[in-house]
Amino acid sequence: MSEREPDQQIGEEATPDLESRLQGLEEQLNSRQETILRLMADIENIRRRQVEREALMRQDAVADCVGKLLKVRDNLARAVAAEGTDGLRDGVQLTLASFDAALTELNVRRLETVGQQFDPHLHEALGHDEHTDAEDGTVLEEYLPGYQIANQMIRPALVKVARRTDLA
């Protein structure tokens, strides 16, 4: 029995140490769980603020665009109110110029077409015209202008393209 007594003594002495160690580990676990919950809340707040920021940026962009187009609307109203056909024509010309200015302010670029080589990324061919004096694939006529902003196509130009008749 004396041989077992030291084992029992070691076990009895180790029990309070294990209990305090277990309590320490539980406290660490609770602390880390709280940290994780706080971090998850922070991430959710960041995500929510980002969504709000993006919505405000879109709203600002639309407001800027509409502000520029309102100048065009004002000129249309003046053209409608003008007396006589000369006043109407002048009003429409002024409106067109202000609309083009608004597009320029918005960094919208009108595509150059006539005399350019046909590019399916920039042009949409509505027809061909057989020519001997124009290079094959040259844009001869523009039916509707194309526009792009930066490298993003807004609308391709609708064009007529030359087709050489003397090529065999």
Identity of residue 160: K
pTM: 0.56
Q: Is 125 exposed, middle or buried (0-12, 13-18, 19+ CB in 10 A)?
A: middle
Residues of the chain with pLDDT under 70: 1-14, 132, 166-168
Could you say which architecture CATH assigns to the domain 108-168? Roll (2.30)
- Convert the pLDDT of each residue in 126-168 to its tens digit: 998 887 678 889 999 999 888 998 888 888 999 999 987 765 5
pLDDT for res 14 = 64
In 56-156, the DSSP E strands lie at 108-110, 123-131, 139-144, 147-149, 152-155
In the chain, the DSSP E strands lie at 108-110, 123-131, 139-144, 147-149, 152-155, 157-164
